[in-house]
Structure formats: structure tokens, C-alpha cells
Amino acid sequence: MERFEQLPFEPLPFEQLQELWRNQPPPLARVPDAAALTREFHRYGRKRSLINLVKAVVVLWQIVWMLSTLRGDPLALTGAIWIAVAEIVFLILDWRRQMAIAGMNFTEPSLGFVAHAMARLCEDRLRFRRQWALLVCSAAGGINLMNLGSLHGSVSHRIGEHLEGTAMALVAWRLGLWLREKRDRAERRPLIAQLTAMERALKALKEGAA
């Protein structure tokens, strides 16, 4: 039986082992499922569409009620039309922003695209606050016009009604912001967390390929 001579094993120097370890390519980061993220954004859009549809029905009913009730007084009618136009414009702008966000396609994600998506989510929050404040100011102005045209009685009574209408608009402003923040915590922040994870993974891939 043929026998083989065993070759002696010489361990590599420690400095050479360190160099080999440093030159090892880093493990590739796993990018989160882009298709799943796209489905999450589409689900977000469907839910927003349903909510906005309900809002549109409520606003339409309110407009019909105001116009039919206040058709006899020009000032009151002007205030009602002012409120109606402000509500319609707000609904259209808010709906368009949400649909633009929900329609994003992450099947070919890139760092620039992910950063753009995160910026759109943050920008939507700021734009809502500005447009909501404008809507509330329009509602306060419209309510005061309606009161000017429809209120009767003493001066103190009319001033009290004006102050009450303005206070109601301010309460609606705070309540609307609170509800929107609550919805953001439940829906938008998880989307931002997924985008952040995708951004980190893409950065790791880019650094590993460099």
C-alpha cells in the first residue's frame, strides 16, 4: 500500500492573518422586500381613499344644508359659500398628496428614491398643518359672516355668538391636529421605519461594493 509523506503545517504569521481578515468582503446586507413595501403604501392609499370619501360625503351634506338654510340672507350665504369652497379645496389638495404618496413603486429601490419617499411623507405632514390652519381660518371667517347676516338681538348677545363661533373653530383646529398626529403614529411612522431600514441596507450594499 502506497504511503504518503505528511507535509509539515506552518501557521501563518499573526500580521498576515490580520491582513487577510481586514481584506475579507463585508457580508451583504439584505434589502427589505420592496414589493411588500409597495403593497403597504397601496394599502395606505386605499384606506385614505375610503376615509376621504366619507369626508367628501359629510362635506357635501353640510354644504347642501347650509345653502338651503341660509339662502335668504346675502351675508350668511356668502359665509356659507366661503366655508364650502375652503373645505372642497382642502379635501382635493389633501387627497392628491396622499394618493401621490400611496402610488410610489419600490420594485427598483435606490437611495435617492427612498430619500425622496421619506421627504414626501414628512412634507405631507407640514403641508397638512398649513392647509388645515388656512381651512380653520376660512371657517372662522365664514361663521362670523353667517352670524352677521342671521343674528338678531342685543349687541352683547351678537358679540357672544361671534366669540363662540371663533372659539369653536379654534377647538376644531386643535382637535384636527391631534387626530392627524394620532393617525400618523399608527400609519405613517411604520412606513418611515420600513423606509429607514431599506435606506440602511442600500447604504451597506453601496459601501460593500465600493
Name the grid cell of 91.
Answer: 379635501
On whether residue 95 sits in a domain, the answer given is yes
d(CA 133, CA 147): 21
On whether residue 6 sits in a domain, the answer given is no
| Residue-level pLDDT at 27 | 43
Name the grid cell of 168.
Answer: 369653536
Nearest CA to 192 out of 125, 147, 97, 93 is that of 125
On whether residue 8 sits in a domain, the answer given is no
- The total of structural domains in the chain comes to 1
Q: What is the pTM of this model?
A: 0.68
d(CA 37, CA 202): 15
Domain with 81, as residue range(s), is 32-209
On whether residue 3 sits in a domain, the answer given is no
On whether residue 116 sits in a domain, the answer given is yes
* Residue ranges of the chain whose pLDDT lies below 50: 1-2, 4, 6-7, 9, 12, 14, 17-18, 20-21, 24-29
